[in-house]
Structure 1
Amino acid sequence: MPESSLERRIKARYEAMSAVEQKLSDVILASPGQLAMQTATELAGNAGVSKATATRFFRSLGYDSYEQARREARAARSAGSPLYMQDRGKEDANTSDLIKHHLDQEIANIYQTYQSLDRNELLTIVQAVANARRVVIIGFRHSQTIAHMFRSNLIQVRADILLLPSAGDSLAEYMADLGPQDLAICIGLRRRMPQLEAAMAALHEMAVPMLYLADVLAGHPARLASWIIRCQTESSLMFDSNVSVSAITNLLCSLVGKELSERKSSYLQRVELLHQQLDELEKSP
C-alpha cells in the first residue's frame, strides 16, 4: 500500500478520533472495497452517521473530497488487492450459488483465453522454446508459483531450464551470459513487482527473445516482450483466478514436448529411462 493509503491514514489517527469517527473508521476498515462502489450518502447510512460527518471525516484524513478517496479505492480494487475484493461473493444467497458463480467464471476465463490465442504465433513460440540454447523462467511473488509449474513441466521434455530468481541470489549472475540464442519466459500477473520490468528491460538490451505470460492488462513490461499471451484472471471471489494461466502453461509445455519428441533423439525417453534406472518414482500397482 502507498504510504498515504486510506488504511494508513485512519490507523495513524484512530486513537485521537471521536467515537463517531471511530465508528465510521471501523465500517471502512471492515470492507474497504465497498468504498469504491458507494456514494458518500450510502457510506454514511451504513455507518449510521450523517453525510456531513462522512465528508468532514475524509477531509480530516487529508483528502480533498470523498471522491478522491473513492478513486483511490477503485484503483486498489482494479489493481487486484485482496483487501479491496474480500467482499466479493457476499451477494450470493448460499454456498451453492457462490460455488456455481465461481465455477462459471473459471470456465469463462479458460474459454476466453483460448479464444484469444493466435494459432500461428503459438506455433512460433513453441518452436522458439524448443530450439533455444537455454530457457530462463522469471517470476516474482505469486507469479513465481506459475514459473515453478512451468519449469517442472518443461524440464521433463528439454534440458537447460533455469528458474529465477533463485533463493538468496541476485539476477545478474544468471543473466550475464544470456543472448539471442536463449529465451526467457516471464510471468507477470496482476500486482507485479517492479523487478520484473527491470529484468525484462535488461534482457531486451541483451536481445534475448521473451515470452510474456500475463493477465489481460499486462502492464508496462508488455512493450519489452517478443510475444505476449494474455490470460483472463477475473474472479467472482477475492483472489484472482489462475486457472487459465495454468491451462496455458500446460498447453505450451505439452506442445514443446510434442515438437521435441518428433526429433531423432528424445530427451523425454532418456529421462524416463533414468527414472527407472535410479528407481526414483513410485511403481504403479
Structure 2
Amino acid sequence: MASRLILRIQESQSKLTGSEQKIARVLMENQGLIETHTATELAGIAGVSKATTARFFRNLGYTDFEEVRLQAREERNRTQPYGRSEARPAAVSMGRSIGAHLELELANLQRTFEEMRADLLPDLARLIAGAPRVWFLGFGAEDGVARVGKSMFHRLRHEVHHLDGAGQDWAGALAATGPRDVLILLTLEPRPKMLRPILAHARTTRMRVVTITDHAFAPQAERFSERVLPCHAASYGLLPTHATMLSLLRLLAVAYVGENGETVERRMEILEAIEEELNFSE
C-alpha cells in the first residue's frame, strides 16, 4: 500500500483544488490503482484531465507519476514477505486491511520522529522540571490523552494536574493556575471555541504553553506556545488517530526521567512506599 502517498494527501487536503480532490478520493479508496493504472487511466477514473493529474502529484512533492509508482512498489516489496503465510483474506476495517491501518500509523510515527529536533525533548524536560505546577489540557478525544499524560507525569514529579472544567467550572479550574506553570495542550480538529479564552487566560497568568498538535495547526500554535511538538496524524477519516500523540507524551516522560533521574527516583520510592502501606492496611 502506498501509505506515504496517503500521508501526503492527508496533509495537503485543504490545499487541493476541486479537481485534485477528485483524484485524492479515488486514490484514498483504492491505493492499488497506482501500480495497476497509468496516469492517463487515473485521470479518466477521476474525471479530470491528465494535466490536472500531473499537477496533483507535483503539488504533493513528487517529480512525476513514475516516482509515485516506484514508491508504491518499494513499499509493497518491503512488506510482501510478511504476507506469504496468510491462509485467508486479510481482516478488513473501514474498507481497508488492518495492515494498511498499521502501515499508516507507522508512517505517522516515523515521519514525526525523523523531523523532530534532537535538542527539543531535553529542553522541554528542563522546562517542565522548573515549573511550580504542570497542567494537561485536551478537548473531546484529546481529553483522554491529557488524562494519560497527567497520570504518567504524576508518578515522576509533584503538582501535576488535569485541567478540567467539569460542570463548566472553568473559572474555578483556571484560578488554581499561576505564573511559570506549564500547560501541556493536546489538540486536534475540531477545536472548541473555549480554547481561545483559556489560552488568553494562560497568557495573562504567564503560564508557559507546550502544544502537541497536528502539522496543519502547528504554525498557529507557535503564536501562543513556548514550544510546539508537531505530530503527523493522518488517518483514513471518520475517527482521528492519537498513536503519535501518545508516543510523543511517553518520549517526553522518558526525557524528563533522563534529565531528573535522582528526583524521579525519590518520588517513585515515596509513591511505592505509600502504595505498599495502603495495600498492607487492606
TM-score (norm 2): 0.62
Distance apart, 1:248 and its partner CA: 0.5
Q: How far apart are the structure 1 equivalents of 2:170 and 2:246?
A: 25
Shift of the 240–247 alpha-carbon distance from structure 1 to 2, 3 Å rule, reads same
In structure 2, which of residues 68, 91, 96 is the aligned counterpart of residue 95 of structure 1? 91
- 1:184 alignment partner, SS class: strand
Distance apart, 1:222 and its partner CA: 3.8
Contact 1:187 1:213 in 2 (8 A): yes
Alignment of 1:73-88 (within 5 A): none
The equivalent residue for 1:202 is 201
Contact 2:211 2:229 in 1 (8 A): yes
- 1:143 alignment partner, SS class: helix
Alignment of 1:233-244 (within 5 A): 233-244=233-244
Q: Which deviations, in whole Å up to 9, do the C-alpha atoms of 1:156-209 show, x marking residues without a partner?
A: 111111111242142222323533331111111121112122211221122211
The equivalent residue for 1:51 is none
- 2:234 alignment partner, SS class: coil
The equivalent residue for 1:187 is 186
The worse-fitting range, judged by mean Cα deviation, of 216-225 and 105-114 is 216-225
Contact 2:221 2:228 in 1 (8 A): no
Q: How far apart are the structure 2 equivalents of 1:264 and 1:251?
A: 15
Alignment of 1:113-152 (within 5 A): 113-152=112-151
Shift of the 153–265 alpha-carbon distance from structure 1 to 2, 3 Å rule, reads closer
Distance apart, 1:105 and its partner CA: 0.4
Contact 1:211 1:225 in 2 (8 A): yes
Shift of the 265–145 alpha-carbon distance from structure 1 to 2, 3 Å rule, reads closer
Q: How far apart are the structure 2 equivalents of 1:199 and 1:261?
A: 33
Contact 1:235 1:241 in 2 (8 A): yes
Distance apart, 1:255 and its partner CA: 2.1
Shift of the 95–36 alpha-carbon distance from structure 1 to 2, 3 Å rule, reads farther
- 1:109 alignment partner, SS class: helix
Shift of the 194–264 alpha-carbon distance from structure 1 to 2, 3 Å rule, reads closer
Distance apart, 1:38 and its partner CA: 4.9
State the aligned residue count.
195
- 1:187 alignment partner, SS class: strand
Shift of the 115–38 alpha-carbon distance from structure 1 to 2, 3 Å rule, reads closer
- 1:228 alignment partner, SS class: strand
Contact 1:190 1:214 in 2 (8 A): no
- 2:119 alignment partner, SS class: helix
Q: How far apart are the structure 2 equivalents of 1:36 and 1:276?
A: 61
The worse-fitting range, judged by mean Cα deviation, of 175-184 and 255-264 is 255-264
Contact 2:122 2:259 in 1 (8 A): no
Q: How far apart are the structure 1 equivalents of 2:22 and 2:232?
A: 27
Instruction: Structure 2: give runs of 5+ residues left out of the alignment.
Output: 1-18, 24-88
Highest Rg: 1 or 2? 1
AA aligned to 1:114 is F
Contact 1:222 1:228 in 2 (8 A): yes
TM-score (norm 1): 0.61
The equivalent residue for 2:16 is none
Contact 1:211 1:226 in 2 (8 A): yes
Q: How far apart are the structure 1 equivalents of 2:22 and 2:250?
A: 41
The equivalent residue for 1:260 is 260
- 1:172 alignment partner, SS class: helix
Distance apart, 1:279 and its partner CA: 1.1
Distance apart, 1:140 and its partner CA: 1.3
The equivalent residue for 1:71 is none
Shift of the 141–237 alpha-carbon distance from structure 1 to 2, 3 Å rule, reads closer
Q: How far apart are the structure 1 equivalents of 2:196 and 2:142?
A: 13
Distance apart, 1:268 and its partner CA: 1.3
Shift of the 273–259 alpha-carbon distance from structure 1 to 2, 3 Å rule, reads farther
Q: How far apart are the structure 1 equivalents of 2:249 and 2:259?
A: 15
Shift of the 106–264 alpha-carbon distance from structure 1 to 2, 3 Å rule, reads closer
Alignment of 1:202-281 (within 5 A): 202-218=201-217, 220-263=220-263, 266-279=266-279
The equivalent residue for 1:84 is none
Distance apart, 1:94 and its partner CA: 5.8
